[in-house]
Amino acid sequence: MSLPSKVDVLVVGGGPAGSTAAGQLAALGYDVALIDKQHHPRETVGESVLPSAWRYFDLLGVTEAVDQCKFVRKAGGVVAWGDQITQISFKDFAYDRPGLHVERDEMDHVLLRHAQSRGVRVFEGYRATTVLTDLAGGASVAVIGGDERKQVSCRYLIDATGQASLMARQLKCRRTNPEYRFVALWGYFRDSRYVDPNGVARPFSDLASHAPVTFVTRLGDWGWSWHIPMKQYTSVGLVIPIDDYKRDSAAFPSLEAYYLETCRTAAYLGNLLEGAELTNGNVRMMRDFSYVSETVAGPGFLITGDAAGFVDPIFSIGFAIAMYSGNIAAWTVDRSLRRPAQAAITRGVFEKQMLGRYQLAHTMALPGVEAATPQEARQHFDFFSRSEKELMWSAASMTTRSGNLVRASSDGSAPSALKRRDLATIQF
C-alpha cells in the first residue's frame, strides 16, 4: 500500500491520542491516514491507567479487545509520603470497573489495530518532517518512509507525535516548565513484591488472587517513585529534581548503579525489590519532561496528547488525557469540516478544553504553592462530576501538593470528608 498524496485527515503518531482520533473519524466516513515513525508494538514505559479510561474504550468499541489483553487490574493507590501512608480504593468513588497496570506497547498496538479495522490506513516507519498550513484551512505535510518521500495534503492534520511535539517545535511555541526541572529514570524488575490495598507486601505470584495498587513513595522534598506490577514485570520509576540528580549521580560509575542504589535506599521501595532482578534492557532516562504548547490549534491542524503538553505523571492522568484529547479532536475536525463557517469557533472550544485540562494537571501536581490558580484550571475543574472531584481531592491530599487543587474548585474548599484511609505501615 502506497502512502496517498491527498486525504481528508492525516494523523501523525500512533499512540492513544492518535488512534482514538483516527478511528472515530474513519467511522464517520472520512478518508484517514495515520503515520508513525516506529513499528508497533513499540516500547513505551509501563503505565498506571485510571478507571475513567473505560468510558473511552466503550466509546471506541474496543472494550472487549482490552479485556482480552488480561492487563493487571489495580484496586487503587497507596502513597508513602514522608511519615504519612495513605490508601484510596476506586470502589469508594462510584467506579464499577478497576484501574489497570498496562504494558503500553500492547495497549497502543490494540488501539492502533482497532483504528485500522475501522478504515484508517496505517503506515508504520513513516515520519513527518515539515508542515505547511493554509490560513483558509488544510495542511501539506512532508513525509518520509522507506524509499518514499511524499508531500501529503489534507483538510486537517492531527499532531499526535507525543514528546516529539512536531507542530509545537515547528511553531516554536513549546515551553518547558521551569518549576518542573526533573529527570525521570525507570526500569523493569522480575519477581518484585507488590503492595495490596491493605498495605500488605505480597509476592509477585499473588497477583492473580490479590489485586495490587499503584505504590508511590516520596524521594527527598519533591521527588517521588512509582512501583507498578504488570503481567510479567514490575515498572519502577524515579522522578528526581534535576539538580539533585546532577549532584548525586556523579558519585556512581553508571546510570544503572545510581538508579539501583536510589531504589534500594528509598523507603519501602527497597524492601519490595529485595531479591528482584532488573531485567528487560537498560535503565531508561528522560530529562525536563514537563512542557506545554502555547498553541494547540490553528487553521488546518490540532495538537493532541503529549504533543500538546506533559506534566508530572504523579497522579496517573496521562493516558486519560491522551484519549480525551483524541476524542475531542475527532469532534473538532468533524464539526469544522461540516460547518466551515464555524471552524474558528470550534477550534476555540478545543483549545480551551485542552489548555484547561493541562492547567488543571499542572495545578494538581505543582511542587509548592502558587500565589494564584489559573482561571482555566478553575473552569475546567467544574466539568468533572462530584465523584471525580472527590477522587482528585483525595489523591492529591495523599501528598503535600493538595493546596493548589483545593483552590482550583469554584468554592475554594475541599470536601469535608476525604475518601482515603491512613495506614500504620507497609506490612512485610
Q: For the sheet with 99-102, list strands across it.
A: 47-49, 99-102, 72-74
The b-or-e profile of 196-216 (16+ CB within 10 A means b, else e) is bbebebbebebbeeebbbbbb
**Residue whose C-alpha is closest to residue 300's, from 171, 121, 129, 136:** 136
Q: Which three cell numbers stand for residue 246?
A: 546532577
CA distances from 380 to 135, 226, 346, 372 (A): 29, 27, 17, 15
CA distances from 309 to 17, 173, 329, 378 (A): 12, 11, 15, 18
Domain range summary for the chain, segments of one domain joined by +: 6-46+103-177+291-356, 178-287
What is the C-alpha to C-alpha distance for residues 283 and 193, in angstroms, rounded to an integer?
Answer: 20
The per-residue pLDDT for 292 is 86
What is the C-alpha to C-alpha distance for residues 258 and 57, in angstroms, rounded to an integer?
Answer: 39
What is the C-alpha to C-alpha distance for residues 144 and 133, in angstroms, rounded to an integer?
Answer: 18
For 10-43, write each residue's pLDDT tens digit.
Answer: 999 999 999 999 999 999 999 999 999 999 998 8
pTM of the complete model: 0.93
What band does 371 get if pLDDT is binned at 50, 70 and 90? very low
Which helix or strand (DSSP H or E) is residue 117 part of? Answer: helix 104-117
What 3-state class would DSSP assign to 141? strand
What is the C-alpha to C-alpha distance for residues 264 and 346, in angstroms, rounded to an integer?
Answer: 51
Same fold for the pair 6-46+103-177+291-356 and 178-287: no
Long-range contacts of 267-270 (CB under 8 A, 24+ apart): 267/80, 267/217, 267/218, 268/80, 268/215, 268/217, 268/426, 269/215, 269/217, 269/225, 269/227, 269/236
Of 308-312, 354-358, 385-389, least confident by mean pLDDT is: 385-389
What is the C-alpha to C-alpha distance for residues 120 and 21, in angstroms, rounded to an integer?
Answer: 10
The per-residue pLDDT for 415 is 63
Taking residue 334's Cβ as centre, other Cβ atoms within 10 Å add up to 18
Of 39-48, 117-126, 152-161, least confident by mean pLDDT is: 39-48
| CATH code, residues 178-287 | 3.30.9.100
What 3-state class would DSSP assign to 29? coil
As a three-state string, the secondary structure of 206-251 is HCCCCCCCEEEEEECCCEEEEEEECCCCEEEEEEEEHHHHHHHHCC
For 177-192, write each residue's pLDDT tens digit.
Answer: 777 788 999 999 999 9
What is the C-alpha to C-alpha distance for residues 93 and 101, in angstroms, rounded to an integer?
Answer: 19
Domain 6-46+103-177+291-356: homologous superfamily in CATH:
FAD/NAD(P)-binding domain (3.50.50.60)
Of 92-96, 122-126, 172-176, 313-317, least confident by mean pLDDT is: 313-317
Most confident stretch, 127-136, 309-318, 322-331: 322-331
**Residue whose C-alpha is closest to residue 314's, from 274, 357, 363:** 363
Strand pairing category for 174-176 and 291-293: antiparallel
Half-sphere exposure in the Cβ direction for 244 (13 Å, CA): 17
Residue 213 or residue 376, greater confidence: 213
What is the C-alpha to C-alpha distance for residues 322 and 22, in angstroms, rounded to an integer?
Answer: 13
